[in-house]
A and B are shown apart, each in its own frame.
Chain A
Amino acid sequence: MKFVGVTSCPTGIAHSEMAAEAIEVAAKKQGHEIEMEVQGASGAPPIDSELIKNADAVIFAIDADVRDRNRFSHLPKVEVGTRHAIDKADEVVKRAVTAAEEGTKEQPADAGSGDGGEDAQTQSSDSGGRGVGAEVRRWLMTGVSYMIPFVVAGGILIAAAFAVGDAVTVTDSNVYENFTIPAMLFEIGGQAFSMLVPILAGFIAYSMADRPAIAPGLVGGLIANAIGAGFLGGILAGLLAGGLVMAMKKIPAKGAIKRIMPILVYPVVGTLVVGALMILVIGEPAAALTSGLESWLQGLQGTGSIILGLIIGMMMAFDMGGPVNKAAYAFGLAALEAQSYAPMAAVMAAGMVPPLAMALSTRIRPKLYTENERQAGDAGWLMGASFITEGAIPFAAADPIRVIPPMMAGSAVAAVMSLLFNATLRAPHGGIWVIALIGNWPLYLLAIVSGTLVAAALVTVTKSVGRGDEPTGDDEKADAQTAAA
């Protein structure tokens, strides 16, 4: 016979899975086909509605409600608790056989649609009572967890290129034309970094709407790279792609059309729409933002050190590679070319602070961070020291509202102090590896350490606020910020 089944339990960790496994094992042993849906925390996908339509009976092994119970209302039913199913799975399956033979039906539930095809398609959230904010946080965390290995690999390899090579020339090297070890390390690290934003976007989308959302998300992320929209652009692309595929999944479709939806419609339409939105709606403003900010900064030449430092510092930490950061960096670069060496020093100090501060915070209060984040934190020491601001992106992307403002404050402190100490830098990158090119380096290091301490202290405080009970408002603001960038 063919059965379908649902298991559920309040915490959704153990009993629902065990019951599903026990029933599957027992049913297969007795020669039946069965498809189980675990309505637990792992967010297993709903059973295909075709299978439900053609099943002989349904088995509910549940300690909590069944979501979308209407889907099964046409089927003979056996309902037991999860532990009963675990202990006596054989008996439960036999009861299902009896029920199928006798045709015992469940009382039709209120809505009572015979064919719950539409319900079955609805991507049910695995969260019961969780709010939108917590849901958004979970999406971001998923994206970040896939991104972290790219950050760590790219960051460490680029730092290694700086360490074993000449940090000033390695960035202009081309390993394919002129092979050197540092050039190779720099190229590999750079390629890993080029995946940061696409992976973030692709897997945010994936966590929202499963596999069909990966392509639109990744491509949206690639375009975020191309238009220089940074990781905030990537988050936006991911949310767009996930939301779009989620919405498309709700479109009712039958038969042949339904079958082509996931292979043709979701990827083609999803990728087209996300890509077009990124290019048409986000691309222009992001580019305009960078050039606008850049010329605005040029106009600030000669302003006092404090104002200029505050602005440069905050810009460097705001989007860590996005349009705002790039404008500040370009300003430093332009000054460097004009043989004014103080702004570049301030820019680099500000860019070194965020990864160092996150590394420090994960050491001060490891409990505030996931295992993943702590590992990313450890890699942050080297990345921060090498002026690889991207090292802080995993933290900023997972929790923008709590992480970005403290980073901006710390970077501003470092930039202001660097300008006040009149530190100078005759290279556009390199971190401590170009210390020989830094004028007034002891005080320059003091500026970086001070900024790091400020940012780490602040982020440790903000990360402690509202833990466990995620306030919805925060994440909505985070979204707004994402959209604004």
Chain B
Amino acid sequence: MDVSIEDLIGSDHVTLDLQASDAEGAVKELAALLDEQGRLNDREGYVQAVLDREQETGGTGMESGVAIPHARSAAVAEPSLAFGRSSDGISFGADDGTPSDIVFLIAAPEGENQLHVQVLSKLARKLIHDDFRTALREAGSADEVVEILEREVEL
């Protein structure tokens, strides 16, 4: 496949210090990173789509401390990924109440070019594994996060 993880995320899409204390704030903060890189057509529309989905599903937080807020929307210009880490953790509605300290915001465009899906599914599968999550938690810089992703999520 000719879409790889580098096409979805760069160190500009990474923050190791999310300021937000709630899910809505975290989604907005990460969406702003994507918007600054021209990845969104309509930031507000996209954020709304993500929040609607969070609401519908009761939140994308998992007991492992990872949350993956996401939406497929015409408001997305280019398939993208943003990564945020929060020192205090943010509630994304995990069943046992575990706050999420790792947040992947996924932005998928509407329509036909679905090449990025393979990369996202690979990433999603990786998130099940402890050692991958630990590496992300211990990464010291945005570049290191991207390096980990490039190394672990190659097709």
Contacts and interface: CB of A to CB of B under 8 A. Distances in A.
B70 A145 contact: no
Nearest to B94: A87
Interface in B120-146: 120-122, 124-125, 127-129
B70 A14 contact: yes
Given A87-B96, A367-B78, 12 more contacts: A11-B71, A13-B72, A14-B120, A18-B62, A38-B121, A41-B108, A42-B121, A83-B60, A138-B113, A138-B114, A145-B2, A468-B111
Contact of A367 (B41, B111, B114, B118): B41
B70 A13 contact: yes
B74 to A, nearest CB: 3
Nearest first, the 8 closest Cβ-Cβ pairs linking A and B are A468-B74, A21-B125, A17-B124, A138-B112, A17-B121, A87-B63, A137-B112, A14-B124
A470 interface: yes
Interface in B18-52: 38, 41
B106 interface: yes
Contact of B113 (A13, A21, A149, A370): A370
Interface in A123-182: 134, 137-138, 141-142, 145-146, 148-149
A18 B53 contact: no
A25 B57 contact: no
B148 interface: no
Given A18-B127, A134-B112, A470-B111, A13 B121 contact: yes
A134 B109 CA distance: 14
Interface of B: 2-3, 7, 38, 41, 53, 57, 60, 62-64, 68, 70-72, 74, 77-78, 94-96, 106, 108, 110-115, 117-118, 120-122, 124-125, 127-129
A371 B78 contact: yes
Nearest to A374: B78
Interface string A20-55: 111001000000000000101111000000000000
Most buried by A among B7, B41, B121: B121
A141 B112 contact: yes
Report the contact-size class of chain A (Cβ under 8 Å from the partner): 35 or more
Contacts of A38: 121
Nearest to A475: B112
Contacts of A469: 74, 110
Contact of A468 (B110, B115, B120, B124): B110
Most buried by A among B111, B120, B124: B124
Given A86-B128, A371-B7, A469-B74, A13 B62 contact: no
Given A22-B128, A470-B111, A13 B2 contact: no
Given A14-B106, A371-B78, A141 B113 contact: yes
A13 B111 contact: no
Contacts of A142: 115
A372 B79 CA distance: 12
Interface string A370-403: 1110000000000000000000000000000000
